Amino acid sequence: MQLCIMFGMFYPQEAKGAMTMYCTQCGSKTSAGVQFCAICGQNVQATMQNDQRDRREFPFWIVGALVGATVGFLTRPAAFLVGQLPFGIVITGGSTLRGLDSLFVPVAQRSLGQMAAFAIIGGFIPAIVRKLRTRPESK
């Protein structure tokens, strides 16, 4: 259905919801769900996918995830006596710690977990913001 809306401008919709599309190569009619154009053999599905890829927005979620991970890292829990652990130890979850240092493994794992959680939250924020901004203004 979303596809119908997306391509509605280019591929006029026919009655009863059946979608008629036109081959991007030769312009002849093809029906939705058909892989190749019957006239010229153009791969219609592939063209549609490319179209979608080109139209994809800038990946704000990656920026959000990076910001989230940074905030998560900066606010990571402090270990007893030594304070916040360095990035190299946090990112490996403390797996490189040996001997007495392995006491800090739980803190390293908690720090890593917090970074991951913040990254996930950060990744969702742009989508939420966009949803709020594009919400049709009723009333």
Using CB under 5 A, list all residues that contact Zn ion: 23, 25-26, 37, 39-40, 42
Of 12 and 27, CB closest to Zn ion: 27
23: left (phi over 0), alpha (psi -120 to 50) or beta: beta
Helix (H, G, I), strand (E, B) or coil at 40: coil
The least distance separating Zn ion from the CB of residue 108, rounded to whole angstroms, comes to 58
Q: Measuring CA to CA, which residue among 121, 82, 136 is closest to residue 105?
A: 82
Give one DSSP letter per residue of 80-127, joined into a string. Answer: TTTBSPPHHHHHTTTTT--GGGGGGHHHHHHHHHHHHHHHHHHHHHHH
- Eight-class DSSP state of 5: H
Of 44 and 85, CB closest to Zn ion: 44
The least distance separating Zn ion from the CB of residue 41, rounded to whole angstroms, comes to 7
The least distance separating Zn ion from the CB of residue 135, rounded to whole angstroms, comes to 39
Of 25 and 45, CB closest to Zn ion: 25
Of 29 and 130, CB closest to Zn ion: 29
Contact by Cβ (8 Å): 21, 11? yes
The least distance separating Zn ion from the CB of residue 51, rounded to whole angstroms, comes to 15
